[in-house]
Amino acid sequence: MRSNQTTQKSFSQRQLRVGELVKQNLGELFIRNEAKIPTINSKLITVTEVRMTPDLKTARVYVIPLGGVDTKETVRILTEYSHLVRKALSKRLDIKFLPKLTFVEDNSFEYAEKIEKIIRKNKENDKEKKRYN
């Protein structure tokens, strides 16, 4: 969801490729509940983006729970049990270094919704102005 082209250009092709690989595998891992995280239903978690550091040793994983409910709590639990997620991920990936996972809440949907409301409001204001002119 974070397709800001100015930001994307700063990442190497390798970072993008490995990030996408990690994203796809994390998504499948959560859907199949292979991480065995207690107190959370991982089937309801969406991985929206994974950004890799240049050395590919750390991955920032942007997640959002279904419906955007309890995002902070979900991120906290995922961070607490990130060792379980890494262990399950290690069985799926065959790469030189398994990245350290840092979970972050994805606010891009909220931001997009906020922009959408501003645009709608401006359109309504334009219609009002045309009506009185």
Q: What is the pLDDT along the chain (133 residues), one digit of tens a residue?
A: 454 444 445 888 888 999 999 999 999 998 888 888 888 888 888 889 999 999 989 999 999 888 777 888 888 888 888 888 888 898 888 888 889 999 998 887 777 888 888 888 888 887 777 777 6
Phi-psi region at 67: left, alpha or beta (left = phi > 0; alpha = psi -120 to 50): left
Amino acid 105 reads: E
Supply the pLDDT for residue 1: 47
Q: Show Cβ contacts of residue 83 under 8 Å, excluding neighbours closer than 6 positions.
A: none
d(CA 60, CA 53): 8
d(CA 1, CA 108): 7
Pairing of strands 45-52, 58-65: antiparallel
Give me the domains of the chain, ranges plus CATH numbers: 5-106 (3.30.300.20)
Residue 24's pLDDT is 92
Q: Is the pTM of this model over 0.85?
A: no
Q: What pLDDT score does 8 carry? A: 44
**How many whole angstroms from its chain centre is CA 39?**
20
Residues 6 or more apart whose CB falls under 8 angstroms from that of 60 comprise 50, 51, 52, 102, 104
Sign of the Cα pseudo-torsion (108, 110, 112, 114, in order)? negative
